Structure 1
């Protein structure tokens, strides 16, 4: 396990130091929760015109449950594993760039940003595919960029991101399937 953590730290330092002050604003925008809220609100508004109101309201409830599960599970993992964020780790702090003004919470494993982003991306991807027959990979591109931004700004290790990605994608898919079964069966689309 120590070898994996050492590799993860080295990969973090390498990726984090690829950053350039010229691009910091871009990565800070992507990591901003308000920016992501606006993107997914726009996606919801578009769907509002495509599905019945009862199905739309249920979708919002499912999205709230999705974020609650994804976010709080990340917090449980952080408190259980107690892996320090890179910006709180004295061993590597002097070898990294911290782009944010503050480091955030104490623990990093796993990334709630990555988990929430991929949970939303997978849910919206499958909703869009089933309702308007289009595969919108932009959701996954955005989720990938948001996730990488956490390494770029110096608050998460790559393993935090990878774990958050898998957990979020799986959670989004499961909740989509439950929502789909519940509402396709009753012809609410």
Structure 2
């Protein structure tokens, strides 16, 4: 069964990496995985939180940073060394089939830290803001999905890597978001200024 799952993972990778290839995706997908591309969104979040929530906005930013730190540590320092799965672009028996759009990198593949971190932040924001602003759900999940999908499209992660990263990040984001709301009650936090 494990071999069948890996075979399906490889087939799905090729569907995304090769068969979905087009000039628009070739341009935009490498950007989706670049942290500088998302800098305006991060800046907006900081300004929004501080402007609308003052002291609690700063506390929320600290919780976002803690969320990122936990998700990155768990994915990159705990899980990746445990499994040591090679990236598709580095796997000796597979790399010739990969259409690489960026430098492959030397780190391990499972789980995707990009997917883990972005889903953790997305779930944190959903947990904190959903009662106040329902569109946060599709926007945050769509943003995290684009980042995760881009990892496969550019050739640096298998679909299982990003799916596991998304699940792991979602758990981290849910826990830190729930902790934040427990410490700073929903009634106070959801009122804003």
Same fold, TM-score > 0.5, yes or no: yes
Matched residue, 2:86: 84
Cα distance in structure 1, aligned partners of 2:67 and 2:181: 14
Preserved CA contact (<8 Å) 1:16 1:96 = yes
Shift of 1:186: 9.5
Q: Is 1:111 the counterpart of 2:90 in the alignment?
A: no
Tell me whether 3-12 or 84-93 shows the greater mean CA deviation: 3-12
Question: C-alpha deviations, 1:107-152, integer Å up to 9, x for none?
Answer: 100001111111111111222224x333322111111011000000
Shift of 1:96: 1.7
Matched residue, 1:184: 185
Matched residue, 2:167: 166
Matched residue, 1:133: 133
Preserved CA contact (<8 Å) 1:111 1:160 = yes
Normalized against structure 1, the TM-score is what?
A: 0.91
Preserved CA contact (<8 Å) 2:17 2:98 = yes
User: In the TM superposition, what are the counterparts of 1:28-177 in structure 2 within 5 Å?
Assistant: 28-51=30-53, 53-75=54-76, 76-100=78-102, 102-130=103-131, 132-136=132-136, 137-177=138-178
Q: Structure 1: give runs of 5+ residues left out of the alignment.
A: none
SS at 1:86 equivalent: coil
Q: Structure 2: give runs of 5+ residues left out of the alignment.
A: none
Structure 1 vs Structure 2 CA RMSD:
1.8
Tell me whether 63-72 or 13-22 shows the greater mean CA deviation: 13-22
Matched residue, 2:22: 20
Normalized against structure 2, the TM-score is what?
A: 0.89
Compared CA separation, residues 99 and 45, structure 1 to 2 (3 A)? same
